[in-house]
Amino acid sequence: MFWYVPCIKPFGGFMIPLFNKTVDTLTSLLGYRAERQKVLLSNVANIDTPGYHPKDVVFKKELNSRMSAGIGVELVRTNQNHFGETSKISGIRVEESDEPVSLDKEMTNVAENHLMYNTTVELLARKFKTLKSAIQEVR
């Protein structure tokens, strides 16, 4: 009855890779985008707070430091338009900026992050649609 329960990790994702790590990677990316949205909206909420400095989730710096330290993975192209497997970055770090909060900048960041979140959701939906189609073809 509950055959699927042992296949799921406690914090999301699948322990048994069905076809590749795309679902796990996209799920992790959704988590990152959700956390970043919280931080960005906190900046907007505190725009009038004296002495408040904007915060942001560190991703690019963390990725670059891991890649330069050799922790990253080598990208392999199977097609000119495709990238190979990527590694997940665990542990979300938040950094505070020295500059004052700019409503325009924060709202731009919120809009960009929202767009990237929706794009990730769409990619995940397409992946599941592809898997569903493959399963139905087998029947």
pLDDT digits (tens, 9 = 90+) for 85-129: 444 444 678 888 888 999 999 999 999 999 999 999 999 999 989
Given this model, what pLDDT does residue 84 score? 44
Q: Quick one: what percent of the chain has pLDDT higher than 90?
A: 37
Q: Which two tokens stand for residue 86?
A: 């990527």
- Rounded CA separation 57/99 (Å): 16
Distance of CA 84 to the CA centre of its chain: 17
Given this model, what pLDDT does residue 29 score? 86
Where along the chain do its domains lie?
20-138
Most confident of 19-23, 49-53, 128-132: 49-53
pTM of the model: 0.63
Strand ranges (E), the chain: 55-58, 93-96
First to last CA, the chain: 21
Given this model, what pLDDT does residue 107 score? 96
- Rounded CA separation 49/42 (Å): 11
